[in-house]
Structure 1
Amino acid sequence: MSLLYQSGFGNHFATEALAGALPEGQNSPQRCAYGLYAEQFTGSAFTAPRHQNFRSWLYRIRPSVKQSAYRPLADMKVATAPLAQPAADPNQMRWDPVALPESSTDFIDGLLTIAVNGDAGTQAGCGVHVYAFNKDMTNRFFYNADGELLIVPQLGTLHLRTEMGELTVANGEIALIPRGIKFQVRLGSGDDAARGYICENYGSPFELPGLGPIGANGLANPRDFLSPVAAYEDLEGEFELVAKFSGRFWVSDLDHSPLDVVAWHGNVTPYKYNLVHFNTINTVSFDHPDPSIFTVLTSASDTPGTANIDFVIFPPRWMVADNTFRPPYFHRNLMSEFMGLIHGEYDAKAEGFLPGGASLHNSMSPHGPDADTFEKASAAELKPQHQKDTLAFMFESRFIYHPTKTALEADFRQKNYVDVWSTMRSHFDPTQP
C-alpha cells in the first residue's frame, strides 16, 4: 500500500507491506504466506460485547515469544498507582516545564511521573508523566502492560516506530499507543530534543465521547484519526525490549528487531490526531460552558457519565458571550484536574503557567482565575474576541491524583502557587445592588 496512514477511529483495518501477506478467509492458516507467523493481539476479553471487542492479527517474521527471560530494570523515575506514600494533597499545585536533559537521554530514561490515581492492578485510574529526551531509541524498544499511552508533544516532533507501522507526531497533535504494543521513539527530523506529556490510562480504552444534542459532526470526528499502514524491518543483532509490568520495569534481550510485522488486520492500532481538526463548540449567548464540551477522548468508568479519564482541550476559539465573565469561573468540582499548556497563553492565568508546565487541582479543591485575570476580565469590553495563540489540555479524572515524592520535591515545582489568589479582595457593597 502506498498510503502513510489509514483514516478512521475504531474501524477494522487491513494492511500489508507485501502483496498477499494477509490470508483470505481465515486468520491462522496452516502455513502463512512468505513463511510468516500468525499472532493475535487482544486488547479486551475474548467474550467482550462485539462493539467493545478489540483484537488485531499480526503476520510477522518471528513470533514475540522469541526473546530472553525478563530481568528487572532499576532506577526509573516512573511511579504506578496506588502509592503508599506520600498521601494525596488537597493543595493547588503548579510546575514549570521540566528541563531538557544535558546528558544523552532517550525516551524511556527521560520519563518522570508527576501524579497517579486509581489502581493499575484493578485497571482503574491513570498515571501522568512528562518526558524530555535528546537521544533516539535505536536498539531499544518498549511496551507497557499497565495501560495505553496517550502522548501529547509540547516541544519537538516524535517519530513513533511501532509494530503496526510508523507515526510522525508534531506539536499540536496527539498519539495513542495501545496497551502492550511494542514501539520505539525517535526525534523528528532536525530536532535536537523533545518534551511533552503522557497519560497512562489503566482503565477502559479511550473512545470518542457521545454527542447527544450536539448532533453528528461536533468535537472530534472519526475520519480525522490516522492509523499507520504496515511497515517492517528484518534486522538481526543485539536488541533490548523494555517492559513496564505491574509498576516495575523489566528488560529482555532480542536477537532481532520486533518491528517485523509484514501485515495486520483488526481494530487495535496506534493512532494519531491533529487537534486543529477539533470542531469547537462554544456559547453564543451567555455564561461560560462547562469544559465537558471540549472533550476529545474519554475513558469510561463503571459509573455512567463519570469518566475514568477525560482528555479535554482548550483550543483557539471565538469568545462572544454577553454579560458574562468569560474566563473559567471559580469552581470546586468532583473531578480532579491535571492541566498542561502546549503553546501560547491560557486565558485564566496572567503569568506563571508556561508551555510545558502543568497544574494540579484535586477533587473539591477550589481554583479558578488568578487575581489579575479576574480584575481584567471583570472590566473588559465584551466585544467578540478570537483567542488565536492558545492550546491547553486537561486530564480530568474521577479519582484523586497522588503527586509523587519526586514531583513534590522538584526544583521546578512552584511552591508559592497558591499566592496567585492572595491579593483577591472583597468587592461587596450592600448599598450597590
Structure 2
Amino acid sequence: MSGGNKAVAYIKPGEVEVRSTDYPTLELQDGPGVAPANVGRTCRHGVILKVLATNICGSDQHMVRGRTTAPEGLVLGHEITGEVVERGPDVEFIEVGDVVSVPFNIACGRCRNCKERQTGICLNVNPARPGAAYGYVDMGGWVGGQAEYVMVPYADFNLLRFPDRDAAREKLLDLTMLSDIFPTGFHGAVTAGTGVGSTVYVAGAGPVGLAAAASAQLLGAAVVIVGDLNAERLAQARSFGCETVDLTQGTVEDQIAQILGEPEVDAAVDAVGFEARAHGRDSEEAPATVLNSLMGVVRAGGALGIPGLYVTEDPGGVDQDARTGTLKVRLGLGWAKSHQFNTGQCPVMKYHRGLAMAILHDKVHIAKAVNATVITLDEAPRGYAEFDHGASRKYVLNPHGALDGVQAA
C-alpha cells in the first residue's frame, strides 16, 4: 500500500501546521530531527499503521511553545492507536488488520534495559541517549504519529494487539489513552506508593494529572486530592470524585489539612514538570515549585512519583540554571524525611495490557476522566491553541473517521 500522507508539523514557537508528507516506508529517512546515525535505518521488523486515533500531549506543547530545541518541520505525535496495513518481512506475530496500541517509548526488546522492562531507556533506538519516542526532539528522530499513517519499528515487541477488533473499536476513545497518559499517570501513582487506603496528592490537573488521579482511585486510594491554578481543570477533577486544592487560594498544606484533618499525604505525584508556576494569583514561572511543595506535604517515609517532564535544555528557562535543567530543589528536606524520588519516562509496556483489561471490562473510564475531545486532523492547530490556553480537554485527532460521533462516556 502506498500513497500520500498528512501530518501535523511544528513550524515555530506557537505554530503548528498540517502538511502533506511522504507515505511511510520501513526505512527511517532523513528529515527534521532525525539523528544522523539513524538515517537509512532499515526496519524489516516494523509495520505501517493506519492511524485510528492520535492525541495531543502536554509534552508536545512544550515543543510548540518553543521550550525545546525542536527543529522546524518536525512531525509531532507519540500517542498512537492504529490498524496494521503493512508488515515487514521479519514480523512474525502481528498481522495486517490488527488493531493495536503503540507505546510512546520505542524499544528494541533486545538490550539489557528492555529485558529488565525498562523500555523507556532502550539502549539501541537513539544514538544520542537512552530512550526514544515518536515525533519528539532529541529522541532519535522517529517520525511522529499525528498523521494518517506512521511506521512503527520492532512491532512484535512494541505493539499491544487487541484480540477483539470490534471491542477495541467500540472502546477506542478510552484505549487511545494507553499509548501514554494513562500508563504515565498510573506509573506516577504506583511509584508514589499509592495503595488501598492511601491519601494521595496530585499536582497538576492537566490530562496526565487527571489520569494519575483516576489511577490512584483504581489502585484503591481512600482520598485523591488534585491541585492546580486552573478552575476549569479543578472542576474536571471533581467530576469523577477527587477533592481539589486551588493554588490561587492559600497554601497547599492548609488546604490539604482542611480536607484530611492533617497537612500531609501518604503519596504525591508531580504531573506538571519544568514549566511549573509559583503558587498564588498571577504567579510567575518557578520550575522547582512542585517538587519543593511535594516534599513539604508528603509524610516522612513517603514517596514522590515524578512523571512530569524535566529537560536538560530549555531555551525559555527563567534563568541560566533553568535553561540547563538545574533547579533549586530542597533536597535536604526530602533527605530529612527519607523520601523516595521516582523520575523518568514511564515504561508503558509494564502497564498497558493490565490497563487495557481495566478499560475493556469497565473498571475505569479514562476518556471521561480526562475529558477526551475528538477533533479532525485538520483541526489540530486549533486543538494546540486551545490546550495552550488551559482548556480542560484531552484532544484526540481522528484522521480516518474511526471516532466520528464518539464522545467520552
More strand by share: 1
- TM-score > 0.5 by shorter chain: no
More helix by share: 2
Higher RCO, Cα 8 Å, sep 6+: 1
Q: Tell me the TM-score range normalised by the shorter chain.
A: under 0.3
